């Protein structure tokens, strides 16, 4: 077993006053947050083994990753994939990121079903997305296919595609059954396709529009 060494100094970190620089046998060893310092009861004159130093470094990295995750969540909810991708951008240990993701899920900060439901409501209400468009966006967020199927079924039961299409039409100044020029009908169809509506979902309303001979 490795020999314990003495903690000879604990100083306020020059770059971040909320962190502490720990010196062992007169030499700088590592920097930790105040929380990690107090949780481990580190003090000048105490002893610490090389194994404990390694463990502290791991604990400190986990703490930093967790704080970064909380900051990201303070801006908006995230899917598990979004959170993992953002944390790995910082070049932290993949294993430590996995530990933090598991803790966030266990504590309820990350939940892909809750995220998918919230995201779906927002995209349908603000962007008028169709089923295919919503499925694609949820897939890019890393949501499991089974959860996507569940959430898409829920949201379009609550907000039927035909009602969303009517809302898109009215935003363009088109009432169901109205008379429109061919170019405007084409623009409408293209817009609905971009939003992720199939022809089957839009057919009734689109074919119900009367074609005007006017030019546009």
Q: Domain map of the chain by residue range?
A: 5-106, 114-211
- pLDDT of 2 > 70? The answer is no
Distance, CA of 173 to CA of 37 (rounded, Å): 63
Mean pLDDT of the chain: 91
Residues 134-154 have a mean pLDDT of: 97
The whole-angstrom separation of Cα 44 and Cα 11 is 10
Find, among 148, 138, 133, 151, the residue nearest to 195 by Cα.
Answer: 133
CA atoms of 213 and 173, how far apart (whole Å): 18
d(CA 172, CA 180): 11
Residue written as token pair 């929380």: 35
**CA distance linking residue 11 with residue 28, whole number of Å:** 10
Rg (CA), the chain: 28
pLDDT for 214: 59
Look at the domain 5-106 and name its fold: Arc Repressor Mutant, subunit A (1.10.10)
Across 167-194, average pLDDT: 94
**Token code pair at residue 58:** 């791991």
| Average pLDDT, integer, range 36-65 | 86
Dist CA 105 CA 98 (whole Å): 11
**What is the spatial distance between Cα 66 and Cα 60, in angstroms, rounded to a whole number?**
10
pLDDT above 60 for 216 = no
Which of 2-11, 17-26, 126-135, 200-209 is the most confident on average? 126-135
Residue 128 DSSP symbol = -
Helices (H), 76-130: 80-88, 94-106, 112-127
What is the Cα–Cα distance from 67 to 138, expressed in whole angstroms?
A: 26
Reported residue count of the chain is: 216
Strands (E), the chain: 5-12, 19-24, 27-33, 47-48, 179-180, 210-211
């Amino acid at each position: 077993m490795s020999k314990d060494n003495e903690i000879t100094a604990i100083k306020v970190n020059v770059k971040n006053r909320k962190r502490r620089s720990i010196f062992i046998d007169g030499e700088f060893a590592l920097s930790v947050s105040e929380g990690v310092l107090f949780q481990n009861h580190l003090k000048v004159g105490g002893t610490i083994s090389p194994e404990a130093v390694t463990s502290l470094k791991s604990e400190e990295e986990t703490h930093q990753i967790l704080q970064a995750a909380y900051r990201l969540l303070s801006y908006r909810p995230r899917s598990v994939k979004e959170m993992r991708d953002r944390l790995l951008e910082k070049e932290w240990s993949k294993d430590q990121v996995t530990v933090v993701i598991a803790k966030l899920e266990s504590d309820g900060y990350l939940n892909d079903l809750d995220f998918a439901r919230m995201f779906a409501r927002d995209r349908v209400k603000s962007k008028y997305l169709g089923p295919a468009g919503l499925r694609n966006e949820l897939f890019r967020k890393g949501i499991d296919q089974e959860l996507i199927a569940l959430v898409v079924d829920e949201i379009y039961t609550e907000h039927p595609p035909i009602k969303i299409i009517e809302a898109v039409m009215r935003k363009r100044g088109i009432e169901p059954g109205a008379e429109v020029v061919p170019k405007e009908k084409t623009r409408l169809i293209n817009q609905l396709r971009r939003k992720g509506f199939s022809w089957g979902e839009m057919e009734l309303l689109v074919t119900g529009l009367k074609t005007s001979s006017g030019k546009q």
